[in-house]
Structure 1
Amino acid sequence: MLGVLDEVDGCIDWSVDLKEYHVLAGEPVRVKCALFYSYIRTNYTMATNAKLRLIWYKNKGDAEEPIIFSGHRLSKEDDSIWFRSAEIEDNGFYTCVLSRVLSV
């Protein structure tokens, strides 16, 4: 299903479908950002060339918290996050957002 574009305060919401991943505990899994699925007309290289930064969030109850990639088990690689060894606590909803890089 193709999402409807909605622009508010300079933000565009592509309303992308959810993708469900099933993995056994201890196994690796790669989660690709839905913004770069083939039916959307952009790719990671185009986004970074346009000075956009990809930020990942994990749903924690009623809030979303940005993911800090500081360990060996979880890493960000281009348009994806890698769980080198998925664990039960990794279960949840993940969101990827493109944000404009602000110059200082």
Structure 2
Amino acid sequence: DECTDWSVDYKKYQVLIGQPVRLKCALFYGYIKANYSQAQNAGLSLMWYKSTGHGDFEEPIAFDGIRMSKEEDSIWFRPAVVQDSGHYACVIR
């Protein structure tokens, strides 16, 4: 049998509408042995997914690079809007 280790972490953000906010991928928190630069150098890419809580995570997020952008191990919302509410997951591929 093959065994796979999974690391799951949840962080809840309360954000004021109209304010900038940064979501950092839990895979790169200090206590997890992962480093964004090392992952990138290994040819891995970080994908972000969003769910509104009514089902599975769907297609990867398409960032516009203006209001909502992916920067290294984080998502930036500049500014946050009501439609940004939901569950976000980051995956290394």
Q: Same fold (TM over 0.5)?
A: yes
Higher RCO (C-alpha 8 Å, min separation 6): 2
Once residues 65 and 91 of structure 2 are traced to their aligned partners in structure 1, the CA distance between those partners, rounded to angstroms, is 21
Which of the numbers 81, 87, 93 marks the counterpart of 1:93? 87
Unaligned runs of 5+ residues in structure 1 are 1-5, 100-104
Once residues 76 and 57 of structure 2 are traced to their aligned partners in structure 1, the CA distance between those partners, rounded to angstroms, is 19
- Amino-acid identity (%): 55
Per the alignment, residue 84 of structure 1 pairs with 78
1:26-46 superposed Cα distances (whole Å, 9 cap, x missing partner): 000000000000010111001
1:2-38 superposed Cα distances (whole Å, 9 cap, x missing partner): xxxx61xxxx521x22001111000000000000000
Give the TM-score normalised by structure 1. Answer: 0.80
**Alpha-carbon shift at residue 63 of structure 1 (Å):** 2.3
Per the alignment, residue 3 of structure 1 pairs with none
Once residues 74 and 58 of structure 1 are traced to their aligned partners in structure 2, the CA distance between those partners, rounded to angstroms, is 13
Once residues 44 and 62 of structure 1 are traced to their aligned partners in structure 2, the CA distance between those partners, rounded to angstroms, is 29
Once residues 30 and 20 of structure 1 are traced to their aligned partners in structure 2, the CA distance between those partners, rounded to angstroms, is 12
CA RMSD of aligned residues (A): 1.3
Which of the numbers 46, 62, 73 marks the counterpart of 2:67? 73
* 1:20-99 equivalences in 2 (<5 Å): 20-60=12-52, 61-65=54-58, 66-99=60-93
Q: How many residues align?
A: 89
Give the TM-score normalised by structure 2. Answer: 0.89
Q: Which amino acid aligns with 2:55?
A: D
Per the alignment, residue 102 of structure 1 pairs with none
Runs of 4+ residues over 6 Å off in structure 1:
none
